[in-house]
Amino acid sequence: MIMYKSSIKIGNKEELVNILNQQLADTFDLYSQLKQAHWNVKGMQFYALHLLFDDLAKEVLTYVDMIAERATALGGVAKGTVRMSAENSNLTHSPDTFDNSEFTVKKMVEKYALIAESMRNSIEVSEKLGDKATADLFTEVSRGIDKGLWFLESHLN
């Protein structure tokens, strides 16, 4: 792994950058899938979901930027292209059909739940590696992901 000079005094920078890059891949993939759902959702809740998916995508894009910038602040390289994200994301592919808004929301709930869990794991690992700042970043993202998950699940109840 290529690492650059960083005056941040913590050990395990390479492992932390790897964790950050995994979260970057997953979060950037989530962003693109939210935009896909925004453009293609169909059904009785079209307008509300069209707006919701766009709002969620904007929020997730801020997380993408925060995660990438933390990786570079630690001296790593942010692996943030669409191709890199697609190669490394843990999310399943976006569905090919969007003609049922409930199905689309359920698929987004699955993706949010996966990222919520992996963010929590990343918080714990970052703390064990002695990087409270990265753990705090993941905590902030986790709160936003939880809120988005709540918004999505509220459409299903």
Range of the domain at 30: 13-154
Q: Write out pLDDT tens, residues 24-78.
A: 999 999 999 999 999 999 988 899 999 999 999 999 999 999 999 999 999 999 9
Q: Give the least confident one: 1-5, 18-22, 23-27.
A: 1-5
Angstrom distance (rounded) from CA 31 to CA 70: 18
Collapsed DSSP state (helix, strand, coil) of residue 60: helix
Structural domain includes residue 75: yes
Q: Write out pLDDT tens, residues 71-125.
A: 999 999 999 999 999 999 999 988 777 778 899 999 999 999 999 999 999 999 9
Structure tokens belonging to residue 150: 């709540």
Structural domain includes residue 4: no
Q: At what angle do helices 46-73 and 13-40 cross, to 10 degrees?
A: 160
Structural domain includes residue 3: no
- Residue 126 is given by DSSP the state H
Structural domain includes residue 82: yes
CATH number of the domain bearing residue 89: 1.20.1260.10
Structural domain includes residue 6: no
pTM (two decimals): 0.94
- Residue 4 is given by DSSP the state -
Structural domain count, the chain:
1
Angstrom distance (rounded) from CA 42 to CA 46: 5
Structural domain includes residue 38: yes
Q: Among 152, 132, 145, which Cα is nearest to 30's? A: 145
Instruction: Determine the pLDDT at residue 94.
Output: 83
Structural domain includes residue 7: no
